[in-house]
A = this chain, B = another copy of it.
């Protein structure tokens, strides 16, 4: 049995979450997918979960917590999908992944540690809920069924030759993952223009980094089928000075 974690917690908070889980269910395997989502960046968290969840065994419990609303009235939810369970705040972070796998049922989490703090529901609610589910394997007992939830969609408008999208993730290489996928539009072997701050940049489509020259600005299909803007052995992030959430305009030539 595996519980994964996608959070913006950093240390020592992720370690504490693991301690809480192991105290309740000692034999579970805990895998950090990410503990360094940019602080409060729900969209990055949603993307990371969406691009990772399906590489884990069926029945894996995915916990994703990027939670600027902690301690307010936002709900804590658990989602059963076709192959997985998802646990996190009701702010949209779970939704792209859950929809992709096929939502079966959503419940409002009632499980928690005896004392619940105002600032660390990762420890006090989400970890115990995941551990409870790993231990009991009874989704009904996690709380009451609900029908409404806060949705989250990645921004994209695709006209014939004009694309508006957003940066949903930046990896440690400085690659910019865009909100458009191969299934939205086929960019293979296209030349593109990127417009930013009234400047135009040419983007060459390549199959992989090795087909670009060092320092060249390229676009390619990333490993999750999302398009990425990249510089071979350089950082597109530093070159273009952009952040997650920035809108991107592309023109197909």
B10, A208: Cβ atoms under 8 Å?
A: no
A15 at the interface (CB under 8 A from B): yes
A165 at the interface (CB under 8 A from B): no
A32 at the interface (CB under 8 A from B): yes
A195 at the interface (CB under 8 A from B): no
A36 at the interface (CB under 8 A from B): yes
Using C-beta atoms within 8 Å of the partner chain, give the interface range for chain A.
35 or more
Point out the residues of chain B lying under 8 angstroms from A139, CB to CB: none
Known contacts A72-B210, A119-B209, A223-B117; A29 and B22 CB within 8 A of each other = yes
Point out the residues of chain B lying under 8 angstroms from A36, CB to CB: 11, 172
Q: How many copies does the complex hold?
A: 3
Cα–Cα, bound, A192→B4 (Å): 40
B171, A55: Cβ atoms under 8 Å?
A: no
Point out the residues of chain B lying under 8 angstroms from A51, CB to CB: 12, 16
Instruction: Give the residue of B11, B56, B70, B207 whose beta carbon is less than 8 angstroms from that of A208.
Output: B70
Known contacts A118-B220, A123-B55, A171-B10; A15 and B31 CB within 8 A of each other = yes
B208, A72: Cβ atoms under 8 Å?
A: yes
Point out the residues of chain B lying under 8 angstroms from A6, CB to CB: 12
B56, A22: Cβ atoms under 8 Å?
A: yes
Which A24-76 residues have a C-beta within 8 angstroms of B? 26, 29, 31-36, 39-40, 48, 51-52, 55-57, 60, 68-72
A-side residues, CB < 8 A to B, are 2, 4, 6, 8-13, 15-16, 18-20, 22-23, 26, 29, 31-36, 39-40, 48, 51-52, 55-57, 60, 68-72, 117-120, 123-124, 171-173, 207-211, 220-223, 232-233
Jot down 9 A-B pairs with beta carbons below 8 A, ordered by A: A11-B36, A11-B172, A12-B33, A16-B33, A16-B51, A23-B57, A39-B233, A71-B211, A119-B208
